[in-house]
Structure 1
Amino acid sequence: MSKYRRKSKNYTPTTALIIIVVALISFFINRPTENGQKPHNNSNYELATGNKNINTDNEYSELSSLNYDNKQELVINNNNPNFSDAELSLKNGAWQSFGNLDSLGRSTIANAMLNKSIMPTTKRKPLYVNPTGFHNKEVNGEYVYNRSHLIGYQLTGQNNNLRNLMTGTRSLNSPGMNKYEMDIAQFLKQNPDKYVRYQVRPVYRGDELVARGVQIKAQSIGSNEVHLNVYIFNIEKDAKIDYATGYIN
């Protein structure tokens, strides 16, 4: 038998606590999400932004014809959402509504009159349903797609609802859509008596299964504290997406 034994390490309570904290931080930073991917670190990442004026009578067609040109986010019509008086009515209080899936199974549109009263109080459960074109693949060590909510879970509590999900890239989901959702959620929490008219619409080109982008409109009732009309391209750096099928080359 060897005369030599490995010396046991006697950690002080403070040292042991530090080791546990570091291990927990490492776990949460590197844990996979419900999509089987590591979370994207967007703390220092902002989308390149441009401006675009379009004809409101033909906006879906105009948006679907746009091609990405190094500006992933476009401010539409100076951020004017152009909601009608009827669309801004508080007659029905807070509500949410989702368009039916189209003939290809794609989500179409989501509308809401947001208020703190309909925000969820429970933690979101994992997503398990797949929107059209959800064929995920790693590029540069990270998965390209998220199952993207049209109306973020933190605003109305909708989760595994295919009418409220689309195949979205990491950058479309966050920082793209997420930054607006977080700002509006904070506004509602700080102003529980106020309302925000909200609309999110994926924009497809023809019969393609993956949207080319998403349009977000928002307007606070009785003020311009929230005043928003943006279009975000559904692209990801170095990922060549076949929008017709969702497969990534």
Structure 2
Amino acid sequence: MRWNWLYKLGTPSWFYQYIRAWLPYMYSVAFVLLLVGTVWGLGFAPIDSKQGNSYRILFIHAPVAHIAEVAYVLMAIMGAVGLIWKTKLSFMMMKASAPLGAAFTFVALVTGSIWGKPTWGAWWVWDARITSMLILFFLFLGVYALQDAYKNSDAGNKAAAVLSLVGVINVIIIKKSVEWWYTLHQPASIMKGAVDISMLIPLLINILGMYILYLSLLFSWSQVEILRQERRKQWVRDIALKSEL
């Protein structure tokens, strides 16, 4: 009885109809935050004393890279919930999260390369953090591909969930790489208070905006996956009928 709330939350029909009302507001808030943070960071934050204006890519790169790591951890949690409590929605959201996380990771790699060219003199180096981020990109793709690799969807879901859980080790490596090995990538700056407040505020605004954007996209893509898998259910037909009226 005490887990009834979890099973209700894990019901595709309940989730679809509940979250649909929130999505327009979430997208609006994300847009405003990212607009304010990006304009502030690119146009009004002071020039860095060492990197000049090239550091401004940080206001895009850092939030996107952070969300890529968060997306993987959340995907692994969804996989674990699906394995333990057998909730169908968890596997649906895990599948929606994989390509979305891969997209964020790809943008993080591209923006990191743009930042690396003027900073290190090269678009790409086999740095510990950069390499582990590339591995994260392939892990996202691997989880997505593995879910569709089996004719039996349950087997695919379980295999993908196990891979996502194993891959959490790589997220730990990403976080600790700048401490464990000599690396060109700069160490964590925000938690150590190494970022000036005039740069920190727009950066934090963009990070918050990126969180909300990621969740909005995750919920939207999950809705698409729910409709795809539940298309023969009566509640989906009822929704389609209402939309036609």
Q: Which structure is higher in strand share?
A: 1
Q: Whose RCO is larger (CA < 8 A, sep 6+)?
A: 2
Q: Which structure has the larger Rg?
A: 1
Q: Which structure is higher in helix share?
A: 2
TM-score, normalisation: structure 1:
0.23
